[in-house]
Amino acid sequence: MTGLRYHRPDSLTAAAELFAAGDDPRYLAGGQTLVPVLRLRLDAPSDLIDLAGIDGLVGISGDRREIVVGAMTPHGIVANDALVREHIPALAGLAGAIGDPQVRNRGTIGGSLANSDPAADWPAAVLGLGATVHTDRRAIAADDFFTGLFETALETGEIIARIVFPVPRRAGYARVPAPASGFPLAAVFAAETAGGPRLAVTGAGPCVFRLTEWEEALSGGFDAGRLAGLALAADGLNHDHHASAAYRAHLVAVMARRAVAGAAPS
């Protein structure tokens, strides 16, 4: 018998109240990170507050201007959604590259964003498209959302409700998966948006980041040739037994060119 308490509230308000009342609570979304973390004893919360009982957090809507994805929508639903495939095919492709089929059936976009794993795929799309993260209390621009290694702008107890993606003129995503885990060693989401070109990198740094100088190189035309010769400094990039920081820097440049070259029109 463990002391773990389990709750399944039916509203965001009730969930936030349970969180405020708990000793050391965690929200539970799809559980594809949190449940293994509990099994490995890397975390031992007092309470699990399951968000699965809250209506309105699963589903996709939108039009040719923006796509709205509910925070509890599993990756596999996004990957196969007709609206997403039509308007932002790179977003559907990214969702379909996460984990494996079983993980995509359970894991959610909101859970992934709140976790802000340095090698997660979703942050690249959210930052690359300049999306907005809507929570139970405010709207947060992607540029303000990711703040560090497993760190976000979310306040204690704040819950992601949905993500709004503006439809770009075109977008592409290129990634190099680690052979065993499938997590990207480095990946770049490239988008030509109404506000200009955007390039977001995941897997290579403590959290997702933009290549703002490279974006300027694309301002004259969304053409991979304009990135030729641009190099990223290895300082501060991730290094582990899969890849050195210098190799990741090299991969970022290659992935950036591939993402731009492969960008599909919306």
Partner 1 sequence: MTVDIRLTVNGAPVHAAVDAAVLLVDLLREHLGLTGTHVGCETGHCGACTVELDGRAVKACTVLAVQAEGASVTTIEGLGDPDALDPVQAAFREHHGLQCGFCTPGMVMAARELLRRHPAPSDEDIRRGLDGNLCRCTGYHNIVAAVRAAAADLGRDGQGP
Residue 221 lies near partner 1 (rule: CB under 8 A) = no
Residue 217 lies near partner 1 (rule: CB under 8 A) = no
Residue 137 lies near partner 1 (rule: CB under 8 A) = no
Choice between 62 and 99, CB closer to partner 1: 99
Residues 96 to 115 in contact with partner 1, rule: CB under 8 A: 99-103, 105-106
Choice between 36 and 196, CB closer to partner 1: 36
Lay out the site mask for partner 1 across 5-44 (x = CB under 8 A, - = otherwise): xx-x-------------------x--xx--xx-xxx----
Residue 48 lies near partner 1 (rule: CB under 8 A) = yes
Distance in Å, CB of 175 to partner 1, minimum: 15
Residue 242 lies near partner 1 (rule: CB under 8 A) = no
Q: What's the rounded Cα separation, in Å, for the pair 208 and 134?
A: 19
Distance in Å, CB of 34 to partner 1, minimum: 9
Distance in Å, CB of 249 to partner 1, minimum: 28
Where on the chain is the footprint of partner 1 (CB under 8 A)? 1-6, 8, 28, 31-32, 35-36, 38-40, 48, 50, 52, 76, 99-103, 105-106, 182
